[in-house]
Amino acid sequence: MTQTSNRIFDEMARLMNDAAGVAQGVKREADTLFRTQAERILRDLDLVKREEFDAVKEMAALARAENEALKARIEALEGKLAKPAKKGAEPAAD
């Protein structure tokens, strides 16, 4: 009887071990499938990477600063042009 019990327990242990191996394989397969689907969905959404976003954000900040500097320069030049016109302006003779 002892030999039969051990054999049954050995078979049950082997069956459980095989089931655990199959479960791990199914888990790996499900993880791979999920990751593949998630990557496909993200690619279809046409999202940008963080590095690209940060680079464009920095470019926009530099362009904005340059735009402000150019605006100030234009205003200064317009101010210089307006001053001589006021000094040299003579009333029109009709």
**What's the structural domain count of the chain?**
2
Provide the residue-wise pLDDT of the chain in tens; the chain has 94 residues. 456 678 888 888 999 998 999 999 999 999 999 999 998 998 888 888 899 999 999 999 999 999 999 999 999 999 999 886 555 555 555 5
Kindly state whether residues 4 and 41 are assigned to the same domain: yes
Q: Are residues 68 and 35 in the same domain?
A: no
Residues 19 and 43 in one domain: yes
Residues 33 and 61 in one domain: no
DSSP class per residue in 36-89: HHHHHHHHHHTPPPHHHHHHHHHHHHHHHHHHHHHHHHHHHHHHHHHHHHHHH-
**Does 72 map to a domain?**
yes
Domain annotation covers residue 79? yes
- Domain hosting 63: range is 48-88
Rounded distance between C-alpha atoms, residue 72 and residue 78, angstroms? 10
Taking the C-alpha atoms of residue 17 and residue 67, their distance in angstroms, rounded to an integer, is 69
Q: List CB contacts of 80: < 8 A, sequence separation 6 or more.
A: none
